[in-house]
């Protein structure tokens, strides 16, 4: 079936699903449809508990990348959807790309980008929903690029009054940043509170000072 026949996801339905704890995934990059997922156990980063290894914070202080906000959302989601040697297929299909790009135009989906000169070398994207940030995916074409983007995201969200980052599935890689495994029943409670709270993704300036990012995050050994 042609790639352009992917089933569209209305953005209003997508946001309603997130408010119930669901999110879409495709079975493969070339799939035409998505499945709606509600994990029994969620990977959640409560922003008050955000932390990072000392070595990564030292690297951050060198300002290894120029950080930009929402300047290349389409490129970020396309990079996240790319096959790699370690990940030959992805769950991001054309329907997801179209829906989240539309949410970006609506001001609901955002990207944090790492640039080196005119090259996009890493980044992430997700949806702001009340005081929750639903993280979708990240990519890195240079060492630590996605991690640096995550640290900038955490600082921005803390400044803006957000409560947590929903990373969807528990991931051992994100434990170093403070992610915990949260049963769905507990996640629904923190989600409900966040949905009825106000937060502002743009409270922080686009060019957030590295010192402020470092101050926002507890270091670990």
Q: What is the pLDDT of residues 17-62, one digit of tens each?
A: 999 999 999 999 999 999 999 999 999 999 999 999 999 999 999 9
CB 99 within 8 A of CB 11: yes
How many H-runs (helices) and E-runs (strands) does the chain carry? 7, 11
Q: What is the CATH number that goes with domain 40-88+108-220?
A: 3.40.630.70
Distance CA 9, CA 31 (A): 13
Domain ranges of the chain: 40-88+108-220
110 neighbors 125 (Cβ within 8 angstroms): yes
pLDDT in tens, 79-106: 999 987 777 788 999 999 999 999 999 9
């Amino acid at each position: 079936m042609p790639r352009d026949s992917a089933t569209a996801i209305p953005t209003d339905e997508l946001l309603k699903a997130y408010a119930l704890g669901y999110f879409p995934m495709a079975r493969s990059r070339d799939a035409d449809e998505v499945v709606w997922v509600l994990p029994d156990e969620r990977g959640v980063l409560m922003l008050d508990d955000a932390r990072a290894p000392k070595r990564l914070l030292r690297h951050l202080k060198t300002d290894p990348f120029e950080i930009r906000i929402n300047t290349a959302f389409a490129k970020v989601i396309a990079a996240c959807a790319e096959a790699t040697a370690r990940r030959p297929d992805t769950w991001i299909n054309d329907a997801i790309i179209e829906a989240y790009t539309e949410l970006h135009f609506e001001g609901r989906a955002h990207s944090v980008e790492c640039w080196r000169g005119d090259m996009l070398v890493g980044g992430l994207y997700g949806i702001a929903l009340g005081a929750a940030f639903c993280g979708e995916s990240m990519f890195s074409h240079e060492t630590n690029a996605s991690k640096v983007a995550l640290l900038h995201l955490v600082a921005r969200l803390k400044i803006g009054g957000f409560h947590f980052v929903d990373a969807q599935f528990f991931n051992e890689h994100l434990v170093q940043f403070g992610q915990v495994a949260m049963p769905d029943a507990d996640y629904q409670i923190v989600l409900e509170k966040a949905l009825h709270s106000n937060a502002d993704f743009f409270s922080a300036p686009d060019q957030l000072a590295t010192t402020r990012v470092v101050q926002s995050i507890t270091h670990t050994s």
